[in-house]
Amino acid sequence: MKVIVIGPRGKMGKLITQVAASRDDMKLVAGIAPKGRDYVGMDLGTVAMTGSELGVPVTDDLAGVIDSCDVIIDFSTKEMAMEVLDLAIAHKKALVCGSTGFSAEEMKRFEDAGKQIPMLYAANTSKLVNIMNKLLELVTTTLKDEIDIEILEMHDQWKKDAPSGTSKEMGEIMAHALGKELSNIAVYGREGESPREPGTIGYHSLRAGNIPSSHTVFFGGMGERLEITHHSYNWECFARGACDCAAYLDGKAPGFYSIKDVLGL
């Protein structure tokens, strides 16, 4: 598969480039940087520190190179994601997007793109997080209104969005298991807020240092509680998952795919 990576100097883009460069089933054809960066024109391997040159450039012109790829992997920003999406549709290219922080309308655009291209959106590409989501579904479906549900997520100080895309996805999965709309979800924990409202799901976001990613879901019962937690020690699990998602799209018909399809969950 011929792969273009967006943002190869970013935290995720760099790791994705490194993982893709190490895979036999992938060939990197370009990396895309924001306009005017001083590393535009340099070798992608040098920019993403893969350990050797890859013989392909970093460019700031996605439109100029998009026809050379089979799939684009985009973990950049929500603004860039929309530009990439439009170009992927126009050039009929498969797209994996792992960026987070989108509105419901923007998410609908990804879903609609599935009518024209193989489109995979994953707010979290870790295998274990997606297995954790199945556990959350099981607990919620079993206990329904007997428990209070609170989600705590921790990330690095640079993360732009809150709550994380993963916790929003976890909230959606559990709201669905409770037969509720996402609008029943509330955010607690700030000064002056009222006590917990029954039947809601609470979100708590913590940002500090270089914490890679942690998500804990608290199921609060009477006299007991269950906590289910995923910790990542670094971002490699997400980069490996991103490349698995791209490989999954190889030869696929247009459709809106999820990481559950990749993992068979």
Ligand X SMILES: NC(=O)C1=CN([C@@H]2O[C@H](COP(=O)(O)OP(=O)(O)OC[C@H]3O[C@@H](n4cnc5c(N)ncnc54)[C@H](O)[C@@H]3O)[C@@H](O)[C@H]2O)C=CC1
Is 123 annotated as contributing to ligand binding?
yes
Helix and strand counts by DSSP (H, E) for the chain: 9, 12
Q: Does residue 20 interact with ligand X by CB under 6 A?
A: no
Joined together, the tokens standing for residue 87 give 């170009």
- Among 9-17, 20-28, 42-50, 218-226, which window interacts with ligand X (CB under 6 A)? 9-17
Query: Which of 123, 147, 151, 201 contacts ligand LZUJQKHR by CB under 6 A?
Result: 123
Helices (H), 76-126: 78-90, 104-113
Known catalytic residues? 155, 159
Which residues in 23-62 contact ligand X (CB under 6 A)? 32-34
Query: What residue type is 40 in one-letter code?
Result: V
Please report the beta strands in the chain, taking only residues with DSSP state E, as ranges in sequence order.
2-6, 27-32, 58-59, 71-74, 94-97, 118-121, 148-155, 186-187, 201-207, 213-220, 225-232, 255-257
Does 186 count as an annotated binding residue?
no
Least distance (Å) between residue 10 CB and ligand LZUJQKHR: 10
Q: In whole angstroms, what is the distance from residue 182 CA to residue 172 CA?
A: 6
Alpha-carbon span 227 to 261, nearest angstrom:
27
Helix, strand, coil % (nearest 5) of the chain?
40, 25, 40
d(CA 260, CA 265): 5
Please identify, using beta-carbon distances, which residue of 164 and 200 lies nearer to ligand LZUJQKHR: 164
Residue 34, token pair as written in the block? 């924001």
| 59, 213, 248, 259: which one binds ligand LZUJQKHR (CB under 6 A) | 213
- Is 36 annotated to bind a ligand? Reply is no
13 touches, from ligand X, ligand LZUJQKHR, none (C-beta below 5 to 8 Å by class)? ligand X
Q: How far is the CB of 90 from ligand X (least distance, A)?
A: 17
Touching ligand LZUJQKHR, residues 73-112 (CB under 6 A): 100
Give Cα 15 to chain centroid, integer Å.
14
Q: 95, 74 in Cβ contact below 8 A?
A: yes
Least distance in angstroms from the C-beta of 104 to ligand LZUJQKHR: 16
155 binds, among ligand LZUJQKHR, ligand X, none (CB under 5 to 8 A by kind): ligand LZUJQKHR
Please enumerate, by residue number, every residue annotated as part of a binding site for NAD(+).
7-12, 98-100, 122-125
Q: Which residues lie near ligand X (CB under 6 A)? A: 6-7, 9-13, 32-34, 75-77, 80, 98-101, 122-125, 165, 235, 238
Q: Which residues lie near ligand LZUJQKHR (CB under 6 A)? A: 100, 123-124, 155, 159, 164-166, 213, 238
